[in-house]
Structure 1
Amino acid sequence: MRSNTLAVAAKLTSLAVAMALLSGCETTNSIPYKASTENVLTIQSKLKEQGKQLRLGEISLAAGVNESPVCRLNGPIRVNPGKTPTQYIQSAFQEELFMAGVYSLDSNNIVSGQVTELSFSSVSPASWSISMQVSSNNSSGYSVTVNYPFDTSWTAYSACKNVADAYGPAVQMLIKEVVNNPGFDALIQ
């Protein structure tokens, strides 16, 4: 009887150790941001041809929005090593403006944003949902929302890697919505 109890206890201990090893957290990083040619051309056509420049203010996070989402208990999604999702959006937007030749630290036109939604689904249909309120010192601005779909996977690691990899294209789509909005011209005088 005692050997049976010890055998069951040993099996349960082995099972617990195996489960702990298999369920450990993994941090998933995305690929670096790449400026969108379409966004750069749109910004150039709206601002550069008119001789307008701007600088980017802060891209902040609205109260209650989670900036460290966890994917399938696999660990947090890191959109870029060392950057929060809002810092990533700010760097991406700045890169697009710089590539368009309209970014100036001396500009009186200061465009800012506040991320009001930042969420994803890693199960089918997988997608990123990002909403942002955009404003400037010249205009109270407007809101944009994107829902960027992407492929998912059955395994947690692959699905969460897809979530991280899809963040860059989702941000490209967000910036596209910002610069194509009819209110964009009112942000810059």
Structure 2
Amino acid sequence: MKNGKYGVVAGACVVAVLLAGCETTNSFPYKASTENVIAIQQNLQAKKVSVADIQLAPGVDESPLCRLNGPVKVAPGKTIPQYVKEAFEEELFMAQAYDVKGPAIQGRIEELSFSSVSPANWTIRMFVKSPSSPGYEVSVKYPFDTSWTAMSACKNVADAFGPAVQSLLKQAVTNPQFSALAGK
């Protein structure tokens, strides 16, 4: 009888360890937004810009953990600033407004967080500027569906990052000060 109890306890421990293991969650590759591309074309009116490296403000966590499930990785092999920079470049390129020699838009992510419980959302705040403009701040609180289980909820967090960045970039390119980033 004693051995039977120890077997059940040992089995329960093994199951608990397996369920508590870390799992990295990756998002989908970024896809440019037609709405953002049109806004860029309308606001820059044939001016061209480039994108400098996007920075993280001090204290902003680049690898946030999701429900003890492990870190949320926005793209395999890329950091969050790289992902945002490449997303911005893709939007500008699709709008035919990207020139590697153009004025460089600089960005600094001031806030980056998410909630994987209802109401689930990504909160991203970024300051943008260029040599031609002192810049401005944009922010988004992007809602998404969540799930009761950690694995599904964390997958939803990762999957919602691309659309959250699209929404953030929409705030940047539709801002009345956006054209000033490209200079005169």
Report the number of matched residues: 183
- Taking the aligned partners of 2:150 and 2:15, their CA distance within structure 1 comes to 17
Report the equivalent of 1:102: 97
CA deviation vs aligned residue, 1:22-48 (integer Å, no higher than 9, x gap): 11111111111110000000101111x
1:76 Cα deviation (Å)?
0.9
CA deviation vs aligned residue, 1:52-99 (integer Å, no higher than 9, x gap): 111111111111000101111111111111111111110000000000
- Aligned residue among 54, 63, 76 for 1:81: 76
- Taking the aligned partners of 2:47 and 2:179, their CA distance within structure 1 comes to 10
- Give the partner amino acid of 1:117: E
Report the equivalent of 1:36: 33
Report the equivalent of 1:61: 56
- Give the partner amino acid of 2:13: A
Report the equivalent of 1:71: 66
- Aligned residue among 140, 145, 150 for 2:144: 150
Contact 2:54 2:107 in 1 (8 A): yes
1:174 Cα deviation (Å)?
0.3
1:135 Cα deviation (Å)?
0.8
Structure 1: tracts of 5 or more residues without a match: none
Q: TM-score, normalised by structure 1?
A: 0.93
What SS is found at the alignment partner of 1:147?
Answer: strand
Q: CA RMSD in A?
A: 1.2
Report the equivalent of 2:107: 113
Q: Larger deviation: 51-60 or 172-181?
A: 51-60
- Taking the aligned partners of 1:62 and 1:95, their CA distance within structure 2 comes to 23
- Taking the aligned partners of 1:172 and 1:65, their CA distance within structure 2 comes to 20
- Give the partner amino acid of 1:98: F
Report the equivalent of 2:162: 168
Q: Spell out structure 1 runs of 4+ moving beyond 6 A.
A: none
- Taking the aligned partners of 1:127 and 1:18, their CA distance within structure 2 comes to 31
- Taking the aligned partners of 1:166 and 1:93, their CA distance within structure 2 comes to 17
Decide which structure has the larger Cα Rg and report it.
1
Q: Does 1:128 align with 2:128?
A: no
1:7 Cα deviation (Å)?
4.0
What SS is found at the alignment partner of 2:107?
Answer: strand
- Taking the aligned partners of 1:106 and 1:151, their CA distance within structure 2 comes to 41
Q: TM-score, normalised by structure 2?
A: 0.95
Report the equivalent of 1:24: 21
The sequence identity of aligned pairs, in percent, is 57
